[in-house]
Amino acid sequence: MSLDLKTKLDKELKDDAEIRNLWLEGIHNRDHRQTFKKTNEFYDFIIVGAGTAGCVLARELVYNIPNINILVLEAGPPNTQVNDIMRSPCETDWGYFSEDQKMSSIIDPTKEISNKGFPYPRGKVIGGCSAVNGMIYIRGHKADYDLWASQSPEYKIWDYEHCLEAFKAIENNTRKNPDEEFKKFHGFNGLLYVQDRQDDTYDIIKDVFKVAKNLGIPHNNDFNGIRQYGVGEYQHTMKDGKRFTLADGYLIDALKKVETYPPSKPFETASPHGSGDDVAKFVAVNVKCFAHVLNIIWDEEKKDENVAIGVKYFYDGRVHESFIAPKGEVIICGGTINSAQTLMLSGIGPKNNLEENNIKVRKELPVGRNLLDHPSCCITARASVPNGNSQLHYSSSGLELGMFYKGDINGKIPSKKHFLDERPDIQFYASTSLLDPAVIANDAKPKKDKILSMLSVLNLPSSVGHLELCSSNPFIHPKIFLNFYEKPDDLYVMMSSLKLSCEILKQPPLSTVWGVETDVDKEMSDEDWEQYIRKKVIGLLSGAFSSYHPCGTVKMAPESQGGCVNHRLQVYGTKNLRVIDASIFPTIPAGNLNAPTAMVAWKASRLIEEDYKNKA
């Protein structure tokens, strides 16, 4: 994205924030009846964010705990008008931008390379990122969850066997005639539809399969099964060939739940559902769109404790307050960026960052640290044979071919042993859609060129980023520092994968179908190929881009090990407050994050149910 566009976006965000800031400043200068709306609404649970986690959580709680009411606050719109893939900026995108990054060039250590910031889209819509992502259903590797569980004995509930139970409970896999091994790892009665591709695989993708076979890469018809390595086709979160979000599966079902409101509830006189002697019927889940949460409300009467009692949010031109019942909880499900920001705005976070933004420190925790993501890099070829889709965006039926393997730490082309490694660190995509943001930026209009994109994703990066507040204004975005390729090992592994992509493109029958506008030239010598790789690496440093899989900013771990929430996802140093979304991942799973986020929410609902029943 050009600097001019970035400047324009920054200005729009600044103007937008300043308008809202006037509203907030007005709280202290105007009649509260005009600016504040104290609704006296009490709920058993207030869920902040109707993304993947929020949708699953709302449904599971309302169906498993009798006679409760839930408020779900979503900053974005309903998802009825969302396109298959989000384009940034837009109404359903938060409009984040990563910060510029400087580092030494691994090719020439005497030179400092500036990695320009880039758009960092996140779903701002009912369904969250499940409404705008690439729809790929990958859970990660068994070792990912066993690593989570290894932190301390009480974290055993997060090992692979426990997580597999949740994955299967969520999933409604529609594969035809699944074999017995497939059945061991998948669910068929959940609310999230998962399916194989519905259309024929494009000829050029079949050619990639042939090349992979010739290179000794084993076939894998289930990346979520007994092993992850190999080459195969992805499954997608779709139903009948169309996107299926967590809102479609879970939130819609939650909204159907009608409860009997018992007058004996201790907070009935303050309930939004009325009071009196008659038993009333009410919809158990109340969803508000365009409701931007500002901060958590604390019980100021309890001076020595951080007891969450509600949230403050901007909605319909006013600041509102909603509260939780005596046994209730505030549950933050805003996603990796928003959940961290909400905690910090509420006084939970790094002491220095809070104080420099004039925020009272209630509990010092490393919120915003441990920002993890999957760096990506793409090689693009333009083929001269028909291959179906010609649009410059993701295919409406998802990405076609997938491959998992171990990258070479020395930057060499992976050998046969790397394709059989039990712990792959590269996730590969081959698609007949244009995936490279740099190429898309240079091709403003869709062309009829036939595209073959070879996308490499670093699934187990060593580099770690962070985010921090730059204002106490909730409408000003935090600064996002991704720190891609800060660790040289990450760069060498990515180089290894790029070389494999080039090697695949050099093999027949792929080598015979390139057009004149290919990203690489079929007449290139070995020296030329090496130089090309070097230039591509420089390109990584000066224009790296992301898979947009952020996680980890509210880390689940013992507090002594940098944790922000415990194994039950309760925020340290607080009461009645949890965080449930990808921000709690201690380490990043080796795959796409939508499925793991839904799994975490499903498991968390059981923990909340246990604790709710044990409360007096």
- Give the annotated binding-site residues for FAD: 125, 293
Which DSSP category does 466 fall into?
Answer: E
Between strands 258-261 and 280-283, the pairing is antiparallel
Scored b (16 or more CB within 10 A) or e, 503-530 reads ebbebeebeebbeeebbbeeeeeeeebe
Binding site: which residues? Answer: 125, 293
How far is it, in rounded angstroms, from Cα 457 to Cα 376?
Answer: 4
Instruction: Give the contacts of 50 (CB within 8 A, at least 6 positions apart).
Output: 58, 72, 73, 74, 126, 127, 128, 247, 251, 287, 289, 333
For the chain, counts of helices (H) and of strands (E): 15, 25
Which DSSP category does 153 fall into?
Answer: G
- Among candidates 11, 78, 75, 7, which has minimal Cα distance to 47? 75
| Residue type at position 517 | E
* Residue 91 in tokens: 């109404």
* Residue 77 in tokens: 């719109």
Instruction: Give the contacts of 264 (CB within 8 A, at least 6 positions apart).
Output: none
Cβ neighbour number for residue 2 with a 10 Å cutoff = 9
How far is it, in rounded angstroms, from Cα 148 to Cα 369?
Answer: 17
How far is it, in rounded angstroms, from Cα 562 to Cα 559?
Answer: 5
* Residue 536 in tokens: 């591509």
Instruction: Give the contacts of 422 (CB within 8 A, at least 6 positions apart).
Output: 227, 229
* Residue 224 in tokens: 């979520």
* Residue 108 in tokens: 């020439």
Provide the CB-side half-sphere exposure for 328 (13 A, CA): 27
From its phi and psi, is residue 138 left (phi > 0), alpha (psi between -120 and 50) or beta? beta
DSSP 3-state of 471: coil
| Residue with the two structure tokens 């890099």 | 377
| Residue type at position 451 | I
* Residue 218 in tokens: 């084993």
Cβ neighbour number for residue 109 with a 10 Å cutoff = 8
Give yes or no for a contact between 267 and 225, defined as CB atoms under 8 angstroms apart.
no
Q: What is the DSSP string of 309-349?
A: EEEEEEETTEEEEEEEEEEEEEEE-S-HHHHHHHHHHTTEE
Q: Helix crossing, 488-506 with 203-214: angle to 10°?
A: 110
Cβ neighbour number for residue 316 with a 10 Å cutoff = 9
Q: Which residues pair with 113 in a beta bridge?
A: 103
End-to-end CA distance of the chain: 55
DSSP run (H or E) holding 167: helix 160-170
Burial of 551 (0-12, 13-18, 19+ CB in 10 A): buried
